[in-house]
């Protein structure tokens, strides 16, 4: 999709599939509206489990080809969402999946959890200064649910947000750029509780997830932004289904399960907490770009970008 609005959205995620679960409707909506949507995924998710028995041979303890396979799944998912700018931090396979907290993979020297935050952030700064997004979406400091790669994705994205705006930091990566708004992925507790009750009633899975199984759940009042992706729910479901090693989507597209086979609601409205930048005029916001005048070269009022561009060059 060619960008036509001057709006540029950057999402930073840990593994292929996280983007579709958390932001699939958001990405499809902004891509359809002509925004430039950039996804940076930090690992190939090669440590994941595999749901379909016929693909079980891909896992790290057998063929060890899951990472390469998941690149294909991500490609298919992004085609479903209409997103064309997809990158792996440092290139595919630069950072290995660290596995869940406490497993031996956490200690592998090439895993993302062991990566130097500043070094990894430098790679992301290069993307930020090239793309110049007005909006960044990532996880909270717990990574939403405590997975080491999600925590590290938060740290790297947060550090890159700071460094990209500093004209003194590595000018060879491009002119400084201050991202106007930073959001964390959220799910309001009341929304989740209602949706889980419906899941228990209707979803065709052997069990139902607990609120603790769902990343980013917070008290409703912390949520600043509700992005109605209802028109793109089918695209989100298709993108999630493309991650077939990781996700089972029910035939209605209203529910899904991960490898634990516990049903979860497939939310077409996606929720966010604004953690940096000015909120739009009305809360809750219904647009991540609310309050920004996102012309092609628009920088936010507090940004040094235009002047630093001259200084740096
Ligand atoms: Zn993940």
Question: From the CA of 305, how far away is ligand 1's center (Å)?
Answer: 32
Provide the greatest CA pair distance for the chain. 61
Ligand 1 centroid–CA 184 distance in Å is 15
Spans of the chain below 50 pLDDT: 298-313
CA of 204 to the centre of ligand 1 (A): 24
Distance CA 140, CA 215 (A): 10
Tell me how far the alpha carbon of residue 294 lies from the centroid of ligand 1, in angstroms. Answer: 30
Starting at the earlier edge strand, list the strands of the sheet with 248-249: 207-208, 262-265, 255-257, 248-249
Q: What is the pLDDT of residue 178?
A: 98
Q: What is the pLDDT of residue 313?
A: 28
pLDDT of residue 2: 59
- Residue 71 alpha carbon to ligand 1 centre in Å: 14
Q: What is the model's pLDDT at position 4?
A: 74
Angle at 162 between CA 157 and CA 167, to 5 degrees: 130
Ligand 1 mean position, distance from CA 112 (Å) = 12
Q: Ligand 1 centre and the CA of 14: distance in Å?
A: 5
Entry pTM: 0.93
**pLDDT at residue 294 in the model:** 56
pLDDT recorded at residue 295: 54
pLDDT at 305: 41
Instruction: Report the separation in Å between the CA atom of 229 and the middle of ligand 1, taken as the mean of its atom positions.
Output: 21
Cβ contact 156:89 at 8 Å: yes
**Span from the CA of 16 to the centroid of ligand 1 (angstroms):** 7
Model pLDDT, residue 216: 97
CA of 44 to the centre of ligand 1 (A): 10
Measured in Å, residue 58 CA sits from the centre of ligand 1 at 18
């Amino acid at each position: 999709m060619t960008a036509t609005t001057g709006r540029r959205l950057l999402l930073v995620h840990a593994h292929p599939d996280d983007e579709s679960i958390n932001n699939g409707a958001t990405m499809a909506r902004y891509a359809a509206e002509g925004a430039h949507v950039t996804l940076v995924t930090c690992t190939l998710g090669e440590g994941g489990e595999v749901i379909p028995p016929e693909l079980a041979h891909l896992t790290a303890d057998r063929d060890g080809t899951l990472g390469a396979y998941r690149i294909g799944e991500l490609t298919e998912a992004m085609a479903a969402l209409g997103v064309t700018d997809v990158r792996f931090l440092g290139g595919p396979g630069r950072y290995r999946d660290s596995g869940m907290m406490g497993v031996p993979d956490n200690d592998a020297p090439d895993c993302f959890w062991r990566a130097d935050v500043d070094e990894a952030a430098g790679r992301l700064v290069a993307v930020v200064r090239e793309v110049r997004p007005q909006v960044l979406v990532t996880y909270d400091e717990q990574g939403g649910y405590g997975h080491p790669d999600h925590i590290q994705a938060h740290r790297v994205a947060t550090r890159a947000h700071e460094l990209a705006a500093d004209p003194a930091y590595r000018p060879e990566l491009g002119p400084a750029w201050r991202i106007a708004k930073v959001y964390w992925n959220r799910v309001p507790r009341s929304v989740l509780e209602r949706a889980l009750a419906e899941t228990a009633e209707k979803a065709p899975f052997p069990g139902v997830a607990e609120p603790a199984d769902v990343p980013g759940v917070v008290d409703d009042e912390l949520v600043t932004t509700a992005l109605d992706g209802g028109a793109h729910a089918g695209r989100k479901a298709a993108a999630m289904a493309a991650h077939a090693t990781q996700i089972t989507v029910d035939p209605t597209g209203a529910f899904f399960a991960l490898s634990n086979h516990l049903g979860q609601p497939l939310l077409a409205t996606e929720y966010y907490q604004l953690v940096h930048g000015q909120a739009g005029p009305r809360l809750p916001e219904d647009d991540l770009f609310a309050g920004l005048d996102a012309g092609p070269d628009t920088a936010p009022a507090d940004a040094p970008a235009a002047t630093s561009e001259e200084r740096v060059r």
